[in-house]
Amino acid sequence: MFVLRCSLRRTRVKHLLDCHSSWGSSCIGVHHRMSSSSPHPVAAVCQVTATPDKEANFTACKRLVQAAKEGGASMVFLPEGFDYIGSSREETLNLSERLTGDIISRYTLLAKKLSVWLSLGGFHERGHDWETDRRIYNSHIIINEKGDIVSVYRKSHLFDVELPGRGVSLKESAFTIPGSSLIPPVQTPIGKVGLGICYDLRFPELSLALLRQGAEILTYPSAFTVATGAAHWEVLLRENTGMALLEIDLEKLRDTQRNMPVQQHRRDTSFYYSLGGKD
How does pLDDT run across 4-36, given as a tens digit for each residue? 344 333 333 444 454 433 333 334 334 455 555
Q: What is the pLDDT of residue 33?
A: 56
- Computed over every residue of the chain, the mean pLDDT equals 84
Q: Which CATH number fits domain 2-273: 3.40.50.170, 3.60.110.10, 3.30.2290.10, 3.60.21.10?
A: 3.60.110.10
Q: What is the pLDDT of residue 227?
A: 67
Residue ranges of the chain with per-residue pLDDT less than 70:
1-38, 227-238, 240, 276-279
Check the CA dihedral 69-70-73-74 and report its sign: positive
Q: What is the pLDDT of residue 29?
A: 38
Task: Show the 3-state SS of 188-247.
Answer: ECCEEEEECCHHHHHCHHHHHHHHHCCCCEEECCEECCHHHHHHHHHHHCCCCCEEEEEE
Q: How far is CA 89 from CA 5, 9, 124, 170, 175, in A?
A: 26, 19, 12, 11, 8
For the chain, give every domain's residue range: 2-273
**Which residues form the catalytic set?**
80, 155, 198
Q: What is the pLDDT of residue 137?
A: 97
* Spatial distance between the Cα atoms of 152 and 33, rounded to a whole number of angstroms: 30
Q: What is the pLDDT of residue 164?
A: 83
* Residue (of 251, 253, 244) closest to 77 by Cα position: 244
